[in-house]
Structure 1
Amino acid sequence: MITNDSRLPVAHRTWWKAPMAATLPGLPLLVGELSMFYSEGYTSGIEIGILLGVALLAVAWLLPHRRSMRGLRMMTAGGALALAILPLLYAVLLGVAMASG
């Protein structure tokens, strides 16, 4: 029996680019921040943001490889990267503020 291939979802050929662009700089930051903040023994707001960043990064890799999911994949990868950079940026801004005072 011949099936109609036009209705089957087509895999997007470059689906991996957005998660990879967020994983390369974001994963080392997330692992370093998680090891630094997770050892305190209590859950803080920064730790929840870091865990959310790890979850968003995993979701960016696990989304279906269809072209229609490209926007959602880019948003989750960008959100994961933003949550990875945010604690580091906050620490740098606090250091600048303390040094200028």
Structure 2
Amino acid sequence: MPGPDAPPARAAHRTWWRAPLAATLPGLPLLVLEYRWFAAQDGPGAFSGVLFWAAGLLALAWVLPHRRSLRGLRIAAAGTGLGCALLPVAFAVLLGVAVAAS
């Protein structure tokens, strides 16, 4: 039995799932769409690394231990994964705007 000077036991963070879910809901359908879009055209090419990093970071956000001390890392992994998933679409939109403006 722990004494009065023992640190409290680390409890699981009750809302650990919010950041991965908030990033996965828009990110996963977007990744599937991008994989299908690039597969129809000879592969992802230059964006293959970005797509693999996005999938890996979203998965990492889910599999990290459910402790409060890892909340910042979980949020960073989920946000970066979502950003990587949005990168090819944002590049296509900016390229379309540049072509339309010229």
Q: TM-score, normalised by structure 1?
A: 0.88
Cα shift readout 1:34-89 (whole Å, capped 9, x = no counterpart):
12224555562201101110000000000000000000000000001000111100
Aligned-pair identity in percent equals 50
The question of 1:81 aligning with 2:85 is answered: no
The residue correspondences of 1:49-88 to structure 2 (distance < 5 A) are 49-88=50-89
The question of 1:48 aligning with 2:49 is answered: yes
Structure 2 gaps, min length 5: none
The amino acid that maps onto 1:49 is V
Which protein has the bigger helix share?
1
Distance 2:31 2:89 in 1: 10
CA contact (8 A) 1:34 1:47 kept: no
SS in 1 for 2:15: coil
CA contact (8 A) 2:57 2:81 kept: yes
- The 1:94/1:43 distance shift into structure 2, 3 A limit, reads closer
The amino acid that maps onto 2:99 is M
SS in 2 for 1:69: helix
